[in-house]
A and B are shown apart, each in its own frame.
Chain A
Amino acid sequence: QSALTQPPSASGSPGQSVTISCAGTSSDVGGYNYVAWYQQHPGIAPKLMIYEVSKRPSGVPDRFSGSKSGNTASLTVSGLQAEDEADYYCSSYAGSNIFVFGGGTKLTVL
């Protein structure tokens, strides 16, 4: 059950776009469309931002978008705002009734 690989940090200035990658294998990210992304502010439970690779729950701004190419998924945040500063985690079903998260990426808004 290896964790998915995310960069430990990412940053951008207000108004800019930033993309966070989530690298897996053909057994998890590449094999299923069960990739999700979560936002977590300090001391607060995670919040679902993207599910099934690119779907956005109601209430999540359309500045947040998800995609997948091969074994790597990506979360793009457009028009960065101060409140987007948080930790972001990707996740994926990994087959055989196992589920994995990425190690997390700390997004800093400069």
Chain B
Amino acid sequence: QVQLVESGGGVVQPGRSLRLSCAASGFTFSSYAMHWVRQAPGKGLEWVAFTSYDGSFQYYADSVKGRFTISRDNSKNTLYLQMNSLRVEDTAVYYCARDGLRFGVHWYFDLWGRDTLVTVSS
């Protein structure tokens, strides 16, 4: 079954860190670029970060640059998002998403995970 399953969300105090994971199955994970997208409660979608299929390139939204790090372990079919210096405004549901193009990037997401909720609150 082709799917992405996120984990690692929870409640954390401002300034602390959290690491999200996204386990892929049912497809050749190492062939696809991956993204993280988030959605604050009652708000729209916000792109967060990108990693190339081989992990050699990473791009970030300005809102998280310098605080978040996207990475992947193709041997474990897993995508990560290390979130440091968390802020209240980082509170959101976080989705991992697969780019639609193998061995490249076409900036559309054809497979989404089920989401994991991150709440930043004192």
Listed in ascending order, the chain A residues whose CB lies under 8 Å from chain B are 1, 3, 32, 34, 36, 38, 40, 45-48, 51-52, 57, 89, 91-93, 97-104
**Closest residue on chain B to residue A46 by CB atoms:** B112
How many cross-chain pairs have Cβ atoms below 8 Å apart between A and B?
62
Listed in ascending order, the chain B residues whose CB lies under 8 Å from chain A are 35, 44-47, 50, 59, 61-63, 95, 100, 106-110, 112-115
Q: Does B110 lie within 8 Å of A3, measured CB to CB? A: no
**Closest residue on chain B to residue A55 by CB atoms:** B108
Q: List 23 A-B contacts (CB under 8 A).
A: A1-B62, A3-B44, A36-B107, A40-B45, A45-B113, A45-B115, A46-B45, A46-B109, A46-B112, A51-B100, A51-B106, A51-B108, A51-B110, A89-B44, A89-B45, A91-B107, A93-B107, A97-B59, A98-B59, A99-B61, A101-B46, A102-B44, A104-B45
